[in-house]
Every structure is written in C-alpha cells, then in structure tokens.
C-alpha cells in the first residue's frame, strides 16, 4: 500500500479487480520472446504534469452493462490492456477512485513509477481488446 | 555500418549538450513525414532532411537503418495528447539523438528495434528477441538509460550512458546472437 500527498489506497478496489489502460498504436511492441504483441513499458507512466497514471475500473464498467469498447470510444486504433490492482500494489502503487464526468469508472494509480516498475506493469498486463481487434471508433 | 564502427567512436567523438540545438529558433513544425534523400556534400556524404533541419552522415546508412530512422523521425508528427493521457509532443532534439544512436548501433546482424515515443517527450528503443530484453531510453541529448536482461544467462543490468557507447558492445553482440 502506498500513500502520496493526498492519495490513500482504496481497499474497496480489490486485488483481483481489473484496471484498464488505453494503449496507443505507438506503444504496441512485438515481443518475439513470447511470440505476441504487448504494451511497451512506456505505456504505464504517470501524466507528464505529475498526476498519477489514469486507469478505468473494469469491474465498474461491466457492472453498468457497458462494453469494454466504450472505453476506446473516440480513440481510433487504440487497444485496451488490463493489469490487476494486486499487481499494481505489489510494485508499491496505490489505487484511488476518481470518477470524472466523461468517465465515471476513472481511477488513478499513484506511486513512484521507476523504469523497473513500468516494465513489470507492462509484462504483467493482459489484453482486453488486442491490437488486431481494435477498430475505428 | 558494422558493430565495429562502434568501437571506433570514443567519448571524444560523442556529442556534448552544447552541440545540440539550433543556433536560431527551431523552424515551425510542419505536418507530414520526413524526407530522406541523398545529397552530395562530398564524395561519401549523406543527409537526412526533415522539418526540423538536416542530419548529416559520413556515409549512406543501409536501407535497414534508414527504415528505423524514418520511424524515429516520424515521431515528431505525433500531436499533443497522442496517447489520450496528456502525452507531450516528441522533442526533435531527442529524435535527432535517437537517429544518431540508431546509425551507430545497428549493424548488419543487429535486429531492428521498436521505436517507442514516451509521454514525457522522449524516445525509447526496445528489442525483445533472442531471449533478450533491451531497452534504451533517450530522455536527454546525451544521457541514455539502458536496461538489459538475458533470459538465457539470467543476467540483468541497468545503467546510464553519457557518451561512450562501448558498454553496449557485448549486449549488442548477445542480442545479435554473435556470442
């Protein structure tokens, strides 16, 4: 569990809960060691202005009968990757709910994101919508 | 260019921070891709022209190297917020540094890297092949953060280079399966 300024990890986001992150086409990398495309470590960084990494709580999206594709609306060619809240916490991150008008399931993953941590998040991610499944939105 | 060329470059040849940047304000960025054209400034010279200026090479890069140079140059066409999370545009000086790095590192046996923009405006070169992970982050004109993991030997290293690229030689040999 991590705390950072006003951020406190929310225990109501369970370790098994999925955190979804949009992946732009420029962050698809082919890992021939595993024979598949995966997100680059560069895809799991905080906002350039210093605010924590944005994610969408997948469970909240599904709970209101939204499709995962709704998270990619307006983002042509993007894919959707998932990390578990438990993975984020295992590398010293915390999760805080931060609903927005444009995304009620919005949350932030806070904590220092070293290169090593970003690599672990990338390697531990799974596709919700793969690059070859992404379509025009 | 072979990996042997890397051995000829010394820290004295490396560009310093003061060598980067235009003497006049950078030209306004134009939409569209880069232009790679041959240009004779001496019997062997080669120039890559792009909206932010020109990059000169002592000899013409191979088509393999040119293919990744094009990808690097095209990163400067990414608009603000290209990742949907507020990403910055890619710094042309860091792209120029990446082009220099590509020209130096990629020999005929070197696998081609993925050219990845970072949300902070830098560039990351990534190789994930031959049981190796290698990432080189270009976040300043002369500092390159390197991560290397060899799944065959279990060796993992992280270090920063500030000019002399020779520590990369054994890593590139391993990546190219020359070991």
Kindly list the domain boundaries of chain A, sorted by start residue: 18-131
Q: Do B158 and A116 touch (CB under 8 A)?
A: yes
> For residue B176, what are the contacts with CB-CB under 8 A and spacing of at least 6?
B3, B107, B109, B110, B111, B130
Please list the alpha-helical segments (H only) found in A29-108.
58-63, 85-90
* Mean pLDDT (whole number) for B118-145: 95
pLDDT at position B17: 40
- Least Cα distance to B147 among A120, A115, A29, A40 occurs for A115
- Least Cα distance to B122 among B88, B161, B85 occurs for B88
String of DSSP letters for B117-153: E-TTS-EEEEEEETTEEEEEEE-SSS-EEEEEEETTT
pLDDT at position B179: 55
* Mean pLDDT (whole number) for A103-129: 97
Tell me if A10 sits within 8 A of A89, measured CB to CB.
Answer: no
CB-nearest to A42 from B88, B124, B145 is B124
Distance of residue A115 Cα from the nearest chain B Cα, in angstroms: 9
* Mean pLDDT (whole number) for B122-150: 95
pLDDT at position A1: 45
- Least Cα distance to B139 among A52, A48, A93 occurs for A48
A79: tokens are 């894919």
Q: Of A60-64, A119-123, B93-97, which range is least confident? A: B93-97
Distance of residue A10 Cα from the nearest chain B Cα, in angstroms: 22
pLDDT digits (tens, 9 = 90+) for A61-87: 999 999 999 999 999 999 999 999 999
Buried b / exposed e over A81-107, threshold 16 CB at 10 Å, is bbbbbebbbebebbbbebeeeebebbb
Asked if B112 reaches chain A (Cβ–Cβ under 8 Å), the answer is: no
pLDDT category of residue A5 using cuts at 50, 70 and 90: low
Q: In the block, which residue shows the tokens 């082919």?
A: A30
Distance of residue A135 Cα from the nearest chain B Cα, in angstroms: 16
Please list the alpha-helical segments (H only) found in chain A.
58-63, 85-90, 115-123
Within 126-155 of B, beta carbons closer than 8 Å to A belong to: 126, 128-133, 135, 137, 145, 147, 151
Averaged confidence pLDDT in chain A: 94
Q: How far apart are CA A105 and CA A22, in angstroms?
A: 14
pLDDT digits (tens, 9 = 90+) for A34-61: 999 999 999 999 999 999 999 999 999 9
> Which chain A residues are closer than 8 Å to B118 by Cβ?
42, 45
pLDDT at position B45: 72
């Amino acid at each position: 569990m991590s705390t950072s300024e006003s951020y406190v990890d929310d225990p109501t986001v369970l370790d098994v809960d999925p955190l979804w992150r949009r992946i732009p086409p420029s962050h698809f990398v082919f890992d021939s060691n595993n024979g598949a495309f995966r997100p680059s470590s560069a895809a799991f960084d905080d906002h350039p202005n210093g605010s924590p990494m944005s994610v969408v709580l997948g469970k909240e999206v599904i709970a209101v009968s939204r499709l995962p594709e709704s998270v990619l609306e307006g983002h042509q060619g993007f894919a959707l990757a998932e990390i578990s809240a438990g993975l984020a916490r295992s590398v010293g991150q915390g999760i805080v709910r931060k609903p927005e008008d444009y995304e009620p399931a919005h949350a932030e993953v806070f904590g220092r994101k070293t290169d090593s941590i970003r690599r672990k998040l990338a390697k531990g991610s799974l596709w919700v919508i793969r690059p070859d499944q992404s379509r025009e939105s | 260019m072979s990996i042997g060329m890397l051995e000829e470059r010394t820290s004295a040849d490396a560009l310093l921070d003061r060598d980067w940047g235009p003497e006049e304000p950078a030209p306004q960025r134009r939409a569209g891709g880069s232009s790679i054209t041959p240009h004779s400034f001496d019997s062997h010279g080669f120039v890559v022209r792009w909206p932010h200026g020109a990059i000169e090479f002592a000899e013409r890069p191979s088509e393999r190297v040119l293919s990744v140079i094009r990808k690097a140059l095209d990163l400067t066409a990414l608009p603000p917020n290209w990742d949907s999370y507020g990403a910055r545009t890619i710094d042309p000086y860091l792209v120029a540094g990446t082009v220099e790095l590509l020209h130096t590192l990629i020999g005929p046996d070197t696998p081609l890297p993925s050219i990845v923009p970072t949300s902070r405006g830098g560039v990351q070169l990534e190789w994930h092949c031959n049981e190796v992970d290698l990432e080189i982050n270009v976040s300043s004109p002369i500092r390159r953060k390197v991560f290397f993991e060899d799944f065959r030997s279990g060796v993992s290293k992280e270090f920063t280079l500030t000019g002399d690229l020779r520590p990369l030689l054994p890593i590139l040999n391993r990546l190219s399966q020359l070991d």
